[in-house]
Homo-oligomer: A and B are copies of this chain.
Amino acid sequence: MEFQSCFPIWDKLSAAQQNSILDSLALRQIKKGTVIHNGSMDCTGLLLVKSGQLRAYILSEEGREVTIYRLFDRDICLFSASCMLRSAQFDITIEAEKDTGLWVIPAEAYRKIMEESAPAANYTNEIMAARFSEVMWLIEQIMWKSMDKRVAAFLLEESAIEGGDRLSITHEAIAKHLGTHREVVTRMLRYLQNEGMVNLSRGTVELLDKNRLTALSDT
């Protein structure tokens, strides 16, 4: 798989712009668990996921986390280059959830192209609007949904990502995704187990009744 075929606006760039990307482009292999972007301390650049999985989250001063969005094959990570956008005043941390291969376009190279290319700037707009939509969804979840519904929705999402009903995930990890405490997640999972919707064993959560989990998460 070539970079060119994964970068949607490639054909809309001039030869000079294409060359400036190819000259500065780097392909990196990231081990699962590596933090590749650390808030406003870094300006890593635009990331294009070749294969793997990234998680973007925010951190509280006390070290609590909440997942903002996740990125999969061919997804673009814009906020690892947020220094390009003067008005972007927030800190997002990005880590590899799986071993990940990704292309890095340095922020300065992309900023220059965006400055002169309407297609590049509009593409950036669309990426940001997509992330904005995910963040608005998250606010709605946090504001209006009780934690049992959020845990059910998270388990279904994980199951869709992993392509299986048996999830290898700790209660602590689920708590970090949802921005809550491990004890709260354990209580919710036990409730779901009592209701026959999941089965818990050490380090795994097995989904037994996806229909009821879906019904619960939709209410």
Chain B nearest CB: distance from A129 CB in Å? 4
Contact A129 B58 (CB under 8 A): no
Oligomer: number of copies: 2
Residue A43 lies at the interface, judged by CB distance under 8 Å to chain B: no
Interface segment, one of A111-119, A148-156, A200-208 = A111-119
Chain B residues with Cβ under 8 A from A144's Cβ? 60-62, 64
Residue A211 lies at the interface, judged by CB distance under 8 Å to chain B: no
Query: How many residues does chain A have at the interface if contact means C-beta atoms less than 8 Å apart?
Result: 43
In the complex the two chains form, what is the Cα distance from A68 to B2 in whole Å? 40
Nearest opposing residue in chain B for A113, CB measure:
B118
Chain B nearest CB: distance from A77 CB in Å? 14
Chain B residues with Cβ under 8 A from A136's Cβ? 58, 90, 92, 135
Residue A5 lies at the interface, judged by CB distance under 8 Å to chain B: no
Contact A87 B121 (CB under 8 A): no
Residue A88 lies at the interface, judged by CB distance under 8 Å to chain B: yes
In the complex the two chains form, what is the Cα distance from A89 to B138 in whole Å? 13
In the complex the two chains form, what is the Cα distance from A152 to B101 in whole Å? 46
Contact B128 A132 (CB under 8 A): yes
Chain B nearest CB: distance from A100 CB in Å? 23
- Contacts of A77-127 to chain B: CB distance below 8 A: 82, 85-90, 92, 114-118, 120-122, 124-127
Q: List 8 A-B contacts (CB under 8 A).
A: A58-B139, A60-B140, A60-B144, A64-B143, A125-B125, A125-B128, A135-B139, A139-B142
Chain A residues close to B by CB (< 8 Å): 58, 60-62, 64, 66, 68, 82, 85-90, 92, 114-118, 120-122, 124-133, 135-140, 142-144, 179
Closest 9 CB pairs of A and B: A121-B121, A87-B130, A90-B136, A87-B129, A85-B129, A88-B129, A89-B133, A60-B144, A118-B118
